[in-house]
Amino acid sequence: MSPKLNNIKSRFLLQIVFFIIFCILTAGVVWFGSNRGKKNAEIGKVFAFTGKQLVESYAFYSSIRLKIETENNVGESQSNYINQFNSAVKSIRDTFLCIENNKIFSVSEDIINAKDTFLLSLKNYETAFNYLLLGYQQIGASNIGNINSIESNSDKLIELASAHKIQEFYKPLSDLKKFETELLLKSDLRAFVQIQKITEEFSNMIVTSLDSDELSNSFIQLLNSYNSELNAFYKQIKLIGPNGDIGLVATFQKEYEEVFNRYNSLVSVSLKKGQLLNSIFIGILFIIYLILIVLYIILLLMLQKDIINPVTKFIDFTYNLSKGKLLTNDLSVEFQHEFNLLSTNLNKINYSLKDKKKFIDGVLKQKFDIDVSLQGKSDTFGKTLLALKENLRKTREEQIQHAEQNQLRRYLNEGIAKFADILRENSDDLNKLTDAFIRELVKYLDAIQGGLFLLKEVDEKQLYLASAFAYNRKKYLSKEIEVGEGLVGTCAVEQKTINLTEIPEDYIEITSGLGDTPPKNLLLLPIMSERTLIGIIELASLNKFAPHQIEAGEKISENLASTIITAKINTKTAELLKKSQLQAAEMAEQEEEMRQNMEELKATQEESARREEELESIINALHSAFYVIEYEIDGTISNANNRLLILLNSPLDAVIGRTHAEIFGHDSKVDALLFARVSDGNTVELTEEVYANKKQFVFKNTFSPIQTKNKKTIKILNIISMGN
């Protein structure tokens, strides 16, 4: 119970004290409101500055990417934009560090978490940019990186082919350069497939066309280096993302959207918390002012005679209210009308506070259908509580919506990860891949039946059923559909998702233990790779497919296309390997046969060696008795025996490469016509006077052709004897 008032003087002094308190509180409210307004203005400037810096950072990124695509270079021309991007991100981070002491970021865990999440997203955004920039730098340009190495190796191949005049290599190397340009300038990954085919064919041409092992090895080394750099470029392009849907570009876009969402979330949470604090502050002030006014009125009334008892009741009543205690019994006084009116108003306040307490308790229990009775048009506290309830209701709805979005996002991410494992584990076998994929896709999307159609490689206007699955069992069906025929063919032509809820009668029936049931929903998904149709997925369900299930199916089918292409390549590789193994076995048989032939050849060589010794003896005797000269077809001397060199008093190096006339005088009868006759297979005898070592001699020349088995003259031999 509150203390009693003993006399009028003490009550008057108490009135003055309450008036002073009222003035001080008013001044404090004005100061607090002004200070809070300044801080809110500062925070508003920070949020505006942050939003501007985020937009400018993305504009800098767009400028960098445009420079890379137009100039095909990552260097000094982009450094200004890169520095501006880093400066924008650093400015945001420094700004938030400077306002750490502002109380708006320490009001609640929601604001602190929103701020920390935003700064973390900002760091991820900056990291994604640096990774993307590193990827572009690794790709390089015409003077650095993968592009430089690819162009350098292809140019070396062309130069090597030109240097050795290998004309059959000109066409494949020209095609290689053409597709290389499309790949490097346009990042057209279809050109990569064409280049692989060309390099494989060119490798076979090198093996089959070149007799020189050294030249063949040079081509093979350059081709292997070219393939290595090409594969590195392809992997880097895939890592960056050729069309922005996947890879580092998509990651950067995602991080930008994430940091902007986190920024909006921080702004939203800060505003809501600020509004909530203002509302609570106003409500508390309203209650305090109301209590002070009541007490002030009571003190004025207590100045009158014979009001001690009713005033004491009023004080007791208001004292309990000031302590937060809501009374169950009404205040009752038996005095003048003014006191009865005051008693009634205080009872209304008590009722109103109990009603608002009940309202607040209901809101805290998330009963947003509860309402509060306003005490009139000027019931600011009641209106504030209603606004608070509405804000909390909206916040709750947003939380529920956010939780649902997170659940759908988790559903999609888990599905993508699950099917990535399936694609990776079965990439070597196309049949296993299609069976496992359609089986798990039917289960994942809660479908009952599904089929996977692939485009024939031979006839690209026809689809065949690669795999079918229904009621947890693989269906061994055989079906072919023309492109444009039926729903599957239509989907192949349009290359877009088809979602039918009104299915034609007898189109498909799902058979189960309960009988034949027509499906309620049919979903057809195109399997695309770089705008190229690979196949169609057809799914049937007794329930309607939800939008997130359709989205998941589309995302998963995108990843299937590249794996199918890889599986086909692996299948062909396995077939080629089997073929090469058969060829190896045949070569082993041929090797055994060759070994036997070698043994026979060895015996023949021994006989030839014996005859060669006899022939060498004859040749030595010939060189001892005659002067011997060997000529090339064009008449230049390629060799001479020692006897002739002694006669000429010249070393062999001084004779080789010169003509007969240059050695024995320009008046010699040995000319080009004579060498032409001998090259045709004729033996020509000629006697002439020559001068050698300042002496005159009479030579009897006998020119004879040296021919291969097929009568082709490869050299000319001149046996000279001395005449009189």
d(CA 115, CA 128): 20
DSSP state at residue 438: H
The reported pLDDT for the residue numbered 524 is 92
**Cα 115 to chain centroid, rounded:** 29
**For residue 33, is pLDDT > 70?**
no
The reported pLDDT for the residue numbered 426 is 80
The reported pLDDT for the residue numbered 339 is 56
**For residue 159, is pLDDT > 50?**
yes
d(CA 265, CA 271): 10
Average pLDDT, the chain: 76
d(CA 79, CA 176): 34
DSSP state at residue 659: B
Q: What is the pTM of this model?
A: 0.34
d(CA 61, CA 252): 10
d(CA 91, CA 252): 20
Is the distance from CB of 468 to CB of 477 less than 8 angstroms? yes
C-alpha count within 13 angstroms, C-beta hemisphere, residue 440: 21
% of residues, the chain, pLDDT over 90 = 4
Question: Please, which residues have CB within 8 angstroms of residue 343's CB and are 6 or more apart in sequence?
Answer: 314, 330, 331, 332, 333
Question: Please, which residues have CB within 8 angstroms of residue 46's CB and are 6 or more apart in sequence?
Answer: 95, 96, 99
DSSP labels, 467-524? EEEETTEEE----EEETTSHHHHHHHHH-S-EEESSPPTTS--EEETTEEE--SEEEE
The reported pLDDT for the residue numbered 5 is 39
Tell me what the mean pLDDT of segment 286-308 comes to.
68
Q: pLDDT tens across 570-589, in order? A: 777 877 888 888 887 888 78
CA 351 to each of CA 156, 328, 340: distance values in angstroms, whole numbers, following the listed order: 96, 9, 16
Tokens of residue 376, six digits: 């009139």
Q: How confident is the model at residue 505 (pLDDT cuts 50, 70, 90)?
A: low
Tell me what the mean pLDDT of segment 672-696 comes to.
87
Tokens of residue 575, six digits: 């077939």
Q: pLDDT tens across 368-412, in order? A: 677 767 767 767 777 777 777 777 778 777 877 787 777 878 888
Tokens of residue 17, six digits: 């004290």
**For residue 535, is pLDDT > 80?**
yes
C-alpha count within 13 angstroms, C-beta hemisphere, residue 480: 6
| All structural domains of the chain | 326-425 (no CATH), 626-722 (3.30.450.20)
The reported pLDDT for the residue numbered 8 is 44
Question: Please, which residues have CB within 8 angstroms of residue 86's CB and are 6 or more apart in sequence?
Answer: 126
d(CA 62, CA 553): 31
d(CA 630, CA 531): 70
Q: Highest-confidence range of 73-87, 181-195, 289-303, 400-414, by mean pLDDT? A: 400-414
The better pLDDT of the pair 145, 229 is held by 229
Residues forming a β-bridge with 452: 467, 537
Is the distance from CB of 166 to CB of 202 less than 8 angstroms? no
Q: Where do the DSSP E strands lie in 313-461?
A: 449-455
**Cα 263 to chain centroid, rounded:** 25
